[in-house]
Structure 1
Amino acid sequence: MRGLVIIVAALLGGLLAGSFAGALHPAGDSLAVFRLPIAVLFALVVTWSDWPRRLRWPLAALALVPVAQILALKAEAGPEGIVTVYQRNLLFKNTEIEAIAADIAEHLPDVITLQEVSDHNAALLDRLAVSHPHRVFCRFTGWSGMAVLSRYPAETEICSDGRGLAGLKVTLPEGPVWVLSLHLHWPWPHGQSGQRDALLPVLAGLDAPVILGGDFNMVPWSHNLRAIARTTQTRRAGPLAPTLVIRGVPLPIDHVLAPGGGRVQVLPRLGSDHLGLLARVSVMP
């Protein structure tokens, strides 16, 4: 029994350490998605073992540090900014166009970032043409893409077809801002890290502050999300909120980033598998 405890603890400890190794290998970010349950299980196994107290408690406390960091994100919300961002992964087969349009009309956001815009739901863009006449749409796959819409004038657009990025340079009252819609692949063994590497030079070359909304398919404490935030000089609007549930597991994978961060609230699914987000962000660091 003692040997089994050692094996289980070593395995969980290795997985926990690996969840911090996203910069070394993309598998680290995949493990980061499960960092919270791995850390809790490791702490429980160590606590229930018959190891000396001087070993058990320090190891358990060390494992609970990332737990505390993740839980703190649930309470962390930056100051509410004055730019309102409506972020939603529509789900490619969503047909609840009127409900989504009504939701947008209720909140009247300054800018909108959408993913999985497809033939099933693309009518939403035309439905919003009066309130948000400035827009860009880019293909991500053969059946869906990303869009950015704005009620303020736009100067320039970028379209990174196939790489999951659509962007519109919008002239807000606060000045020009790049508003980006991002859709990342699933993490390793899928292609998220390669996609990130292709996008970072594009993001680094932008000539104005960035507001970024998207389906990152990744948790905020991952290497990938930190790399994107560092490159765009942005902070995530909080607090942390799960936006997708897979097999009973709530995952915070949709985010809004801005130079000064901001405050976010979740919105109903309205036919999607993702919750929407409404963020009030600041373009000032």
Structure 2
Amino acid sequence: MTVDARHAIHTGRPAKTAWQRGRLLALGSVLVALLLVGHEYVPNRWGNLGSLVQSFLPWLGLAVPLGILAALLRRSALAVLAVLLPLAAWIWVFLPQIRAEATPPGDLTVVQHNVSDTNTDIEGTAEVLLAAEPDVVTLTEVSDTTADQFTQAFAETLPHHETQGTVGIWSRYPLKGAQAVDIRPEGVDASWDRGLRVVIQREGAGVALFVAHLPSVRFGTGGFETEPRNASGLRLAEAVDAEQTETVIVAGDLNAVLADDAIAPLTNLVTAPTTGFEFTYPAAFPVAQIDHVLARGATVTDVRTLPRTASDHRPIVAHVDTPWS
């Protein structure tokens, strides 16, 4: 005798049918589908809920297998049917990212990595990065000591380099016009130094390259705390917008996914690949891509993660199609 039948005998009410059971499960599926297709309308009130949803948006797809399992256990035809809604919504939102597309190789290979200020294997990290055959490597969370170590490790392949605070650039091509980019949130002193701009020179043409490390986000008493990151991202966007060089590349640890509308002032100025899920953090089990290579006046044709290093982030390699080609 089923639980519903026993409940019917005990209460004297008719047993629920497969189309009557699982109404709460069905409602949950409807809500997940609405979040997927309408995530940009979730307000950044109540602890920056909108940014939180957008940061982990692809993972809402887990509601499909979990919903199916719960529906089968509940023996609810209604819940099984309702699971089709988040499935369809997930496909609608992410189909461009999972669709295989032929992409041009690009003529500039950029590797970006947050190497971690606790990294004790600089040589091994450099080997992973150089295996991608980069033209340019941008690093965040470097110190004076580790910057010197990377310079030695990159010496023959990437002889040109510039550092500023805790970020640096190593290049196969000459660099000029290096200058600090002040992306400090309000109230942060000058010791917080995480922005650098240079121009990469090749065949008489120049590409402006920004490397930046935006503040981390935290879960705290105020919810998903993103205000320092958002303020820093706005300052970076202003610097990129003011850049006179036609072709611009922005690389770094932005501590944000590109779907997060809170950093739209920056992402509205640049483009990024629309395929793949190249999650970079945390390295042990990546759940979000917060390390990026973006471009204006050029096309980032492909981004992929590289093998894990001694950092808590995974590195990425991006192929950029610039006007040089």
TM-score normalised over the length of structure 2: 0.69
CA distance in 2, matches of 1:201, 1:177: 18
Indicate the residue corresponding to 2:89 in structure 1: 65
Alignment partner of 1:172 is 2:202:
yes
Q: 1:245 aligns with which of 278, 282, 289?
A: 282
Conserved 8 A contact 1:219-1:253? yes
Counterpart AA for 1:211 = I
CA distance in 1, matches of 2:56, 2:106: 31
Q: CA deviation at 1:244?
A: 2.0
Q: 1:159 aligns with which of 162, 180, 200?
A: 180
Aligned sequence identity (%): 24
Q: CA deviation at 1:157?
A: 2.0
83-92 vs 30-39, which deviates more?
30-39
Indicate the residue corresponding to 1:280 in structure 2: 319
CA distance in 2, matches of 1:64, 1:28: 21
Indicate the residue corresponding to 2:168 in structure 1: 147
- Aligned pairs for 1:117-132 (under 5 A) are 117-119=142-144, 121-127=146-152, 128-132=154-158
The residue matched to 2:256 in structure 1 has which SS? coil
Residues 85-139 of structure 1: CA deviation (Å, up to 9, x unaligned): 1111101111212223334444442211111112562233431345434333223
Alignment partner of 1:229 is 2:240:
no
CA distance in 2, matches of 1:166, 1:45: 47
Conserved 8 A contact 2:283-2:313? no
Indicate the residue corresponding to 2:141 in structure 1: 116
Counterpart AA for 2:141 = E
Residues 17-51 of structure 1: CA deviation (Å, up to 9, x unaligned): 77324786653122112223335528975995676
19-28 vs 259-268, which deviates more?
19-28
CA distance in 1, matches of 2:85, 2:105: 34
Indicate the residue corresponding to 1:142 in structure 2: none
Conserved 8 A contact 2:96-2:274? no
TM-score normalised over the length of structure 1: 0.78
| Inter-CA distance 123–23: structure 2 relative to 1 (3 Å threshold) | farther
Indicate the residue corresponding to 2:254 in structure 1: 216
Conserved 8 A contact 1:95-1:120? no
- Aligned pairs for 1:9-48 (under 5 A) are 12=32, 16=36, 19-21=39-41, 26-38=48-60, 40-41=62-63, 48=71
CA distance in 2, matches of 1:36, 1:102: 31
| Inter-CA distance 227–98: structure 2 relative to 1 (3 Å threshold) | same
Indicate the residue corresponding to 2:17 in structure 1: none
Bigger fraction of residues in strand: 1
Conserved 8 A contact 2:162-2:170? yes
Indicate the residue corresponding to 2:162 in structure 1: 136
Pairwise CA RMSD? 3.6
